Amino acid sequence: MSEEIKVVSPEAVIQFPTGTIKASTLNLMLKKISFELGYCDENNRFRWFSDKPNRLRARRIETIGEPVLQLHPRIADKVERLLNSFEKGEMDSWVLRFPNPAGEPNKGYKKFIAVYDDEQHYLGSMDATVDIAIFEGKTGKRTPDTLPEFPTEKGKLDIREEKVAGPSEVVGTDVVIDFPTGAIKASTLDTILKLCPFEMGFCDAEDNFRWYTDNPKRVHHRRTSAIGESVLKLHPKVAHHVEKLLEDFHAGTKDEWEFWFPKRDGSQGQMYQKFMAVRDEETGEYLGCMDITVNIDQFFSEEELAAMNLGPKTGMGDHPAGHPEAGKK
């Protein structure tokens, strides 16, 4: 007889491989980002979606547990072929482009991704959807160094040297989190976040680094040994900028700062980064600061990138191998 899996509420603090975070805080973070997420399990049943306001693709809690094919009757045959190819390992992702809410063609971007655990057992499929028009115009460099609101001189800061321990009462990733928009195993959610076309991090209300997504080829390197460290200590060269950003969040004078800059490895292309204050939706209590970093290149063709003066990029925006439109422009 298989062991019963424990179900926890979003108030549980989850010990992920890359830090600890309360599930409800993570849920708030997923509501704040521009991307919306969804997941169906290995039996092709709809299980969970991020509760993002004004979704590009509407989702209803009443459909949780329903077969995915029944939720898309007009294209059920196409959905079935895609999911079968995921399960067989013939494809690992597929991109759909559609008009965004403003009616701009191909500005809606939805990526379907096969989800496997570390032992390559098929767990189902996820999707990430975004209006890529929000990234247009993010050319050149917009960083604290270019903005008058941020201090340019590096003054002496009082930076804490010692680590601060995290919550003592935590649960592992073998639990199922019962979110308002569906239940999902914490380990599966961790895997989904690794596959997303963005990376995230979080520091708590005391400005201690607590958690990050372990995406392959991260733009900003993170390490588990830094968990519990002061965020100012982790960024000594720009600590005065970080202090200004966090002061604004604590004081409530700002809720977000967004930046963009060319790739730092010398290759052509553009990165987008956004820092956001995370607050309790009912009380307004400051819970911490989150960041999301996105490689803008992946959403545009070479021609689109050239038009935005971001430089050429190879292979991004194409259909995966095996798709009937693969190789076509």
Residue indicated by tokens 């050239």: 306
Nearest to 128 by CA among 115, 141, 142, 145: 115
| Assigned domain for 304 exists | no
Determine whether 321 is exposed, middle or buried from the number of CB atoms within 10 Å of its CB (0-12, 13-18, 19+).
exposed
DSSP tag of 44 = S
In the three-class reduction of DSSP (H, G, I as helix; E, B as strand; rest coil), residue 11 is classed as coil
| Residue 188, in any domain of the structure | no
Residue 311 is predicted with a pLDDT of 54
> DSSP assignment, residue 219?
S
Per-residue pLDDT tens listing for the chain (329 residues): 356 889 999 999 999 999 999 999 999 999 999 999 999 999 999 999 999 999 999 999 999 999 999 999 999 999 999 999 999 999 999 999 999 999 999 999 999 999 999 999 999 999 999 999 999 989 889 999 999 999 888 778 889 889 999 998 999 999 999 999 999 999 999 999 999 999 999 999 999 999 999 998 888 889 999 999 999 999 998 999 999 999 999 999 999 999 999 987 777 678 999 999 999 999 999 999 999 999 998 998 878 777 776 654 433 333 333 333 333 33
In a domain, 28, yes or no: yes
21 belongs to a structural domain: yes
Its domain, for residue 103, covers 7-135
Residue 269 within a domain: no
Number of domains, the chain: 1
Structure tokens at 49: 């979606």
CATH number of the domain enclosing 130:
3.30.450.20
Question: 173 exposed, middle or buried (CB, 10 Å; 0-12, 13-18, 19+)?
Answer: middle
Pairing of strands 7-8, 176-179: parallel
Residue 91 forms part of a structural domain: yes
- Confirm whether 271 is domain-assigned: no
pLDDT of residue 121: 96
Task: Give the pLDDT of residue 323.
Answer: 36
Within a domain: 286 = no
